[in-house]
């Protein structure tokens, strides 16, 4: 009888359960360690995501605040503008609407003509000339209206230089040297330029002319309205200058030098006498070509712009001592600040052939004006 081979089930040794348990414990510890590492990484990742989210939110809020601030600033600027701004905006939008809107076809090809046989009972408002209502003269003040000296209204041009405002004074060198340096053609051109300047003035502008030699003549004691009558009188008033007695004129250089404080020449033409004795700061001075006397006298009339043309330096002296150019300009400048106590007038200086360039450049620079050298005979 064959016996089948049998296998003995050998029981596990005593160490086997312990090994199994240790392996289990090791796996459990590794699992816990992996779990802790995963939890730690998750916290770091969450923290990173939170920080990134906050940064993005901060940037978004910052941009919103900046945009709103800029919009608010723009609104404030528009709101702070004058009434003229709002009027311009309204006119533009109105014009746009009218342009874009197609007009309806007329019901009748020919519109009826309306006529009136009786005068209207509606009374039109009285139109007041603004130049007559302005308080010029001694009570003129320092402001010169809302716009100050701006070039927006009035103003004038003389030999290519321009000045703004509505009180213009021409200061003309009528010394005998002007005839020599300008010549007959140059004097004729100078006369034409004076007439051109006066004729181009707006009706709301006031003007005056001061001619200077040893003394000064004023066309008027104060700037006058630039109407046809005053301009015509000024043209006639200028005719006797630059001729001198040798040429048949009743005076040399100025009427004041011939007739003093009389105020009328022998032809009955009026003038405003200007002498060193009548301008306090220059009292006791003497000399020829007194542009300093003419300018201070002009400033006392509170012009907004002055045009000065000359062919040399002043010969101003005091106590027998001739004053230097810098001292003369300093005196003019300091006196103007006392008179105006604010914004000074613009003074444009024109030199005949560049003669007297240094002092004329200095004057124009200090008074925010322009300097220009011209040869009147070639204008």
Q: What is the pLDDT of residue 265?
A: 95
State mean pLDDT over 73-86: 40
Confidence of residue 343 (pLDDT cuts 50, 70, 90): very high
Which tokens is 331 given? 């005196």
State mean pLDDT over 50-71: 74
pLDDT in tens, 199-253: 999 999 999 999 999 999 999 999 999 999 999 999 999 999 999 888 888 999 9
Which tokens is 104 given? 């309806």
Whether the pLDDT of residue 140 is over 70: the answer is no
Helix axes 357-366, 325-340, angle to 10 degrees: 20
**Residue indicated by tokens 């000045």:** 163
Write down the pTM of the prediction.
0.62
Higher-pLDDT residue of 30, 349: 349
Q: What is the pLDDT of residue 89?
A: 40
Q: What is the pLDDT of residue 37?
A: 74
Nearest to 319 by CA among 286, 290, 288: 286
Q: What is the pLDDT of residue 54?
A: 81
Confidence of residue 67 (pLDDT cuts 50, 70, 90): low
Confidence of residue 358 (pLDDT cuts 50, 70, 90): very high
Which tokens is 26 given? 């090791």
CB 214 within 8 A of CB 252: no
Decide which of 3.40.50.410, 2.60.40.420, 1.20.58.60, 3.40.50.300 is the CATH code for 142-378. Answer: 3.40.50.410
Domain residue ranges in the chain = 16-83, 142-378
Whether the pLDDT of residue 147 is over 60: the answer is no
Collapse the DSSP code of 221 into the 3-class scheme (helix H, G, I; strand E, B; otherwise coil) and give the result.
coil
Q: What is the pLDDT of residue 31?
A: 63
Q: What is the pLDDT of residue 34?
A: 67
Whether the pLDDT of residue 114 is over 50: the answer is no
Which tokens is 38 given? 């995963």
pLDDT in tens, 2-55: 444 444 444 444 444 454 445 555 555 666 666 677 777 777 888 888 889 888
CA 359 remoteness from chain centre:
25
Q: What is the pLDDT of residue 226?
A: 97
Higher-pLDDT residue of 301, 124: 301
Q: What is the pLDDT of residue 120?
A: 38
Mean per-residue pLDDT over the chain, rounded: 78
State mean pLDDT over 124-140: 32
């Amino acid at each position: 009888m064959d016996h089948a081979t049998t296998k003995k089930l050998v029981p596990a040794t005593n160490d086997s359960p312990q090994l199994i348990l240790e392996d289990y414990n090791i796996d459990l510890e590794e699992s816990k360690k992996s779990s802790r590492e995963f939890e730690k990484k998750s916290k770091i990742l969450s923290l990173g995501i939170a920080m990134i989210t906050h940064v993005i939110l901060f940037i978004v809020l910052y941009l919103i605040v900046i945009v709103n601030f800029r919009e608010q600033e723009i609104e404030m600027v528009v709101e702070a503008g004058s009434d003229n701004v709002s009027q311009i905006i309204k006119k533009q939008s109105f014009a746009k609407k009218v342009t874009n809107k197609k007009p309806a076809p007329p019901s009748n090809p020919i519109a009826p003509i309306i006529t009136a046989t009786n005068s209207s009972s509606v009374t039109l408002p009285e139109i007041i000339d603004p130049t007559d209502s302005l308080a010029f003269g001694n009570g003129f003040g320092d402001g010169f209206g809302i716009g100050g000296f701006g070039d927006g209204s009035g103003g004038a041009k003389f030999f290519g230089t321009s000045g703004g405002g509505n009180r213009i004074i021409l200061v003309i060198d009528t010394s005998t040297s002007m005839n020599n340096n300008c010549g007959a053609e140059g004097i004729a051109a100078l006369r034409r330029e004076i007439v051109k300047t006066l004729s181009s003035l707006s009706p709301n502008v006031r003007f005056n002319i001061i001619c200077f030699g040893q003394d000064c003549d004023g066309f008027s004691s104060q700037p006058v309205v630039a109407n046809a009558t005053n301009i015509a009188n000024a043209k006639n008033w200028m005719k006797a200058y630059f001729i001198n007695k040798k040429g048949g004129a009743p005076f040399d250089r100025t009427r004041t030098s011939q007739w003093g404080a009389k105020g009328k020449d022998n032809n009955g033409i009026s003038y405003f006498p200007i002498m060193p004795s009548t301008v306090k700061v220059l009292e006791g001075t003497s000399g020829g070509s007194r542009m300093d006397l003419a300018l201070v006298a002009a400033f006392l009339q509170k012009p907004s712009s002055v045009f000065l043309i000359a062919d040399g330096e002043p010969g101003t002296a005091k106590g027998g001592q001739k004053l230097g150019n810098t001292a003369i300009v300093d005196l003019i400048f300091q006196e103007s600040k006392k008179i105006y106590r604010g914004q000074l007038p613009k003074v444009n200086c024109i030199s005949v052939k560049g003669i007297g360039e240094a002092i004329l450049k200095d004057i124009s620079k200090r008074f925010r004006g322009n300097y220009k050298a011209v040869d009147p005979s070639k204008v």
